[in-house]
């Protein structure tokens, strides 16, 4: 994968690289360049998830394939990495915090929606 630009990488490759950066940031301190790279990778993942239409509002949790479940973590990972950024101008801090908070709330809202959708659907007997 050496030498590939983000535009040339597949979603699984982008996500795995971002996940490794997130894990490293959670386990220890990482430099700001790594955090920036992680945020860029996750932003690209979000873009690709949207373009590919991986998740639909009318899906239940049972409709989502196991392979796609990990992509529900993208907004959460992006929110956490954004919060760890230190080299942010004071003027940009409020905007970054709001964006981070929005990502974390979005993730929570998506999970709650899927759980609620599951509860409202009753299994059909065949």
CA angle 35/80/109 to nearest 5° reads: 140
SS (H, E, C) 88-112: CCHHHHHHHHHHHHHHHHHHHHHHH
Q: How much is the pLDDT for 55?
A: 81
Asked, for residue 56, whether it belongs to a domain, the answer is yes
Mean pLDDT value of segment 18-23: 94
Specify the pTM.
0.67
Instruction: Tell me what the mean pLDDT of segment 67-86 comes to.
Output: 87
Which of 14, 10, 18, 13 is closest to 81 using CA atoms?
18
Tell me 48's DSSP state. H
Answer yes or no: is 101 within a domain.
Answer: no
Nearest to 100 by CA among 63, 75, 64: 75
* 116 falls within a domain: no
Decide if 123 is inside a domain: no
Is the pLDDT at 122 greater than 70? The verdict is no
Q: What is the CATH classification number for the domain harbouring 70?
A: 1.25.40.540
Name the domain count of the chain.
1
| Residue at 46 is within a domain | yes
What pLDDT is stored for residue 2 in this prediction? 56
Tell whether 12 is covered by a domain: yes
- Tell whether the model's pLDDT for residue 45 goes beyond 90: yes
Exposed, middle or buried: residue 46 (CB in 10 Å: 0-12, 13-18, 19+)?
A: middle
The DSSP string of 65-89 is -HHHHGGGGHHHHHHHHHHH-----
Range of the domain at 67: 6-95
Which 3 state secondary structure label does DSSP give 33? helix
């Amino acid at each position: 994968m050496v030498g590939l630009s983000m535009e040339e990488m597949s979603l699984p490759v982008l996500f795995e690289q971002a996940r490794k950066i997130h894990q490293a940031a959670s386990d220890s301190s990482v430099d700001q360049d790594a955090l920036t790279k992680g945020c860029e990778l996750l932003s690209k993942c979000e873009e690709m998830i949207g373009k590919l239409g991986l998740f639909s509002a009318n899906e239940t949790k049972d409709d989502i394939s196991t392979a796609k479940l990990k992509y529900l973590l993208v907004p959460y990972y992006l929110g956490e990495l954004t919060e760890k950024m230190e080299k942010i101008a004071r003027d940009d801090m409020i905007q970054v915090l709001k964006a981070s908070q929005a990502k974390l709330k979005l993730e929570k809202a998506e999970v709650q929606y899927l759980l609620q959708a599951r509860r409202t659907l009753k299994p059909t007997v065949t």
